[in-house]
Amino acid sequence: MFNIKVSINVNGINYCREIDPTVRLIDFLRDELKLKGTKEGCGEGECGACTVIVNGKTINSCLMLASSVNGKNVITIEGVSYKGKLHPIQEAFMEVGAVQCGYCTPGMILSAKALLDKNPNANEEEIKVALSGNLCRCTGYKKIIQAILLAESKLNNK
């Protein structure tokens, strides 16, 4: 198998690389770009730990080939904070105590961000739907939903 050239924008930076066309997006992010915030849980599209945003939509990076996001914009958890400050969703997760082991947290935050970018007044039901692909074994989800509602009020009061 020979390598192919891709140009992928990750967190606002364009990366032109020659890659194995069978490499998964999660491995491209973690191994090639050293962005270790994206987590692998199941590796089968079930847990959402590997969630990233591609052109505004959440996807499971364990199921996607890096070559299939050629020319697209990817946001990982490393691209959510800005100017060295936490994003209001990250602040809210900390304030409410929505993080325990933290393994699901990057994926949860990216799912929340994709939702609030489109629907800044999402209600609890809409939040539950947006998080339906993200599993958390620790928190029971209540605090995560509470955190996203708090993040909405932070974002809407800016």
Between the alpha carbon of residue 62 and those of residues 21, 24, 91, the distances in Å are 14, 6, 27
Q: Which residue among 40, 91, 95, 126 contacts ligand FES (CB under 6 A)?
A: 40
The yes or no reply on residue 97 touching ligand FES (CB under 6 A) is: no
Q: Which stretch binds ligand FES (CB under 6 A): 2-10, 82-90, 102-110, 124-132?
A: 102-110
Kindly state the greatest CA–CA separation across the chain: 52
For residue 101, state whether it binds ligand FES (rule: CB under 6 A).
yes
Q: Which CB sits closer to ligand FES, 46 or 124?
A: 46
If binding is defined by CB under 6 A, does position 81 make contact with ligand FES? Answer: no
- For residue 153, give every residue at least 6 positions away whose Cβ sits within 8 Å of its Cβ, in sequence order, or none: none
What is d(CA 127, CA 144) in angstroms, rounded to the nearest whole number? 10
Which residue, among 43, 60, 150, has the nearest Cα to 111 in the 3D structure? 60
Decide if residue 140 touches ligand FES (CB under 6 A): no
How far does the chain reach from its first CA to its final CA, in angstroms? 51
Site size toward ligand FES (CB under 6 A) is: 22
Q: Is 66 in the site for ligand FES (CB under 6 A)?
A: no
CB of 61 to ligand FES, least distance (A): 7
138 binds ligand FES (CB under 6 A): yes
How far is the C-alpha of 103 from the C-alpha of 50, rounded, in Å? 10
Query: Considering only residues 49, 69, 127, 150, which one is a binding residue for ligand FES as defined by CB under 6 A?
Result: 49
CA–CA dist 39, 50 (Å, integer): 5
The count of residues in the chain is 158
Is 48 a binding residue for ligand FES by CB under 6 A? The answer is yes
Residue ranges binding ligand FES (CB under 6 A): 40-43, 45-50, 60, 62, 99-104, 136-139
